[in-house]
Amino acid sequence: MSMKPVFERTKGLTEAATHYCPGCTHGMIHRLVGEVLDEMNILEDTIGVASVGCSVLAYEYFNVDMVQAAHGRAPAVATGIKRVEPTKFVFTYQGDGDLASIGIAEAIHAAARGENITVIFANNCIYGMTGGQMAPTSLIGQKTATTPFGRDAKVQGSPIRISEMLATLEGATYIERVSAHDVMHLQKAKKAIRKAFEVQKTGGGFSLIEVLSTCPTGWGIDANEALEWIKSDMIPVYPLGVFKDSTKEMK
C-alpha cells in the first residue's frame, strides 16, 4: 500500500507536543483537521473553538486563532464568532460529554439554525478528562467510573446517536460519522472533514463530522485493544456513513 507516512508534520498544527495518552486518537483527529485547513489554505482565515474535555488544550495545537469555550457551549461561541465574522471559517472541536450531554442544546440549536460552522465531534463513549465516567454515548453494558456494573438502559438510559438525531433537522447540511481506528478509516475521516469545510466555504450551513475515537485510559484497555473495540463494539451501535447531505439539493 502506498500512503503518506502518518506522522509527517502539518502546518495546520503548532509545534506543541500534545498531552494525550498513548493510543488516544484525539491527536490523530487534530492532525486530520490541521491537514485539511492547511490543504485548503485557510489557516489564516480560520477561528477554532476549543471545548472542555481532554481536547481542551486544542487551542495550543491548532495553528489558527483559537477561542476556548465553557463546557458544552462551543457551538454558541462559534455562532457568536461566525455571525460577526461571516467570511471566516469557524469550527468547534468537542468530545461527547461536551456535545452530547451538557452542550446538547447548543449543538441542536446551532444545527437547527443552520449556522455555517463545522463541528468536529470526537465520540469516545466516555468522559476522558474527568476520569472515565459515563457519557450519554456510553454503550449498554459499558463499565465506567459511574456505571461500575455496566450501563443499564433502565437506569441510565440508552446511547444518544448524535449524527442520526441532528440529521433530522432541516438546518443541518452535512453530517457524517467516520472512525479513527485504522489508516483507511482515517483517510475517509479526512475526506469527510474536508467535505464539511467545503460546505462551509460555499456558505452551505451546518456540518458535523462525528469521529469515533479511542480512550484506552478511560476504557481500561491498551491502545491496540482500543482500536479493536471501536470496530467490535462501537461501530455496531454507531454505524459509519453519511446521515445528511443536502449539498446536492442546494446545487
Ligand X SMILES: Cc1ncc(C[n+]2csc(CCOP(=O)(O)OP(=O)(O)O)c2C)c(N)n1
Interacting residues toward ligand SF4 by CB under 6 A: 20-21, 24, 26, 54, 124, 128-129, 215-218
Q: Which DSSP helix (H) or strand (E) runs through 248?
A: helix 247-250
Angle between helices 26-39 and 183-201 (to 10 degrees): 50
In the three-class reduction of DSSP (H, G, I as helix; E, B as strand; rest coil), residue 122 is classed as: strand
What's the gap between Cα 231 and its chain centre?
17
| 124 lies in the binding site for ligand X (CB under 6 A) | yes
Burial of residue 230 (CB within 10 Å: 0-12, 13-18, 19+) is buried
Residue from 80, 114, 150, 171 that binds other proteins (CB under 8 A)?
80
Among positions 46-75, residues that touch other proteins (CB under 8 A) are: 46-47, 49-50, 56-57, 59-60, 62-70, 73
Q: Residue 89 phi/psi, 5° resolution? A: -85, 130
60 contact, one of other proteins, ligand SF4, ligand X, none, CB 5-8 Å limit per kind: other proteins
Alpha-carbon torsion angle 221, 26, 138, 165, nearest 10 = -150
| 214 lies in the binding site for ligand X (CB under 6 A) | no
| Shortest Cβ 94–ligand SF4 spacing (Å) | 12
| Shortest Cβ 99–other proteins spacing (Å) | 14
DSSP annotation of 53 reads S
| 130 lies in the binding site for ligand X (CB under 6 A) | yes
- The 141-180 contact track toward ligand X, x by CB under 6 A, reads ----------------------------------------
Q: Is the CB of residue 196 less than 8 Å from the CB of residue 209?
A: yes
Residue from 89, 121, 229, 243 that binds other proteins (CB under 8 A)?
89
Q: Residue 144 phi/psi, 5° resolution? A: -135, 180
Binding-site ranges for ligand X (CB under 6 A): 52-55, 71, 95-98, 124, 126-130, 135, 215
Binding-site ranges for other proteins (CB under 8 A): 14, 44-47, 49-50, 56-57, 59-60, 62-70, 73, 76-85, 88-89, 105-106, 108-109
